[in-house]
Amino acid sequence: MRYAYYTLAFVVVLLISVMGFRGMKATQPPIEVFPDMDHQAKYKPQAESKFFADARADRPMPAGTVPYGRGTGVEPGRDFHDPAFLRADDFRYAGKAADGSFARGFPVPVTKELLQRGQGRYAIYCAPCHGALGDGNGITKPYGMLAAATYHDDRLRGMAEGEIFNTITNGKNTMLSYADKLSPDDRWAVVAYVRALQRARHATIADVPADQRGGLK
């Protein structure tokens, strides 16, 4: 019987411990056995600082400071990521000419490396709908999705490169924007590869270097 009293007493103490002190404010800070870096020697945004005369932890930019990024994706030794903050070149970053129309041509050198990069990005993001050959026969077509445009249509063959870049950037109709997946230079790489697909579709023997024509059938 006494075990029942012990059990009852334990339950009462437990309830009081858990529920009885809820809502009460502690007068002492909790004991920190493992601080886990809760207290660090750092300044928080817009915090005060006794080190500087104006008492501000946030420091103003030095005069003449401009945003600066790294990597363009086309020069040797660079990667294809472009976190540059200052994008004043409308041709490169918006596909626009000086008069506001869509620009023709490329703002970056069209090299073998650029085409290879474009081929890889195209295979990941474009081929599922537009097809590996750019003819609109992607893997999504048999599943009843809306037919994607073929790049070999005369309208798209005559479209300015800047407009294709703009479509990749902002999307069109049922195609969503790929700006969050492809950097500006990656988008130009895809545009260059699209142009390669278009030219390959209508290529002639004259487009093949003379020293490589022997292997053609």
Q: Is the pLDDT of residue 192 over 80?
A: yes
d(C-alpha 114, C-alpha 136), whole Å: 23
At 49, is the secondary structure helix, strand, or coil? coil
Indicate the average pLDDT of the chain: 83
Q: Give the mean pLDDT of 63-80.
A: 53
d(C-alpha 113, C-alpha 48), whole Å: 50
Domain 96-203 sits in CATH 1.10.760.10: yes
pLDDT tens for residues 91-144?
999 999 999 999 999 999 999 999 999 999 999 999 999 999 999 888 888 887
- Comparison of pLDDT for 178 and 68, the residue scoring more: 178
Say if residues 191 and 160 touch (Cβ distance below 8 Å).
Answer: no
Give the end-to-end CA distance of the chain in Å, rounded to a whole number.
101
Say if residues 83 and 69 touch (Cβ distance below 8 Å).
Answer: yes
Domain ranges of the chain: 96-203
Find, among 131, 121, 129, the residue nearest to 183 by Cα.
121
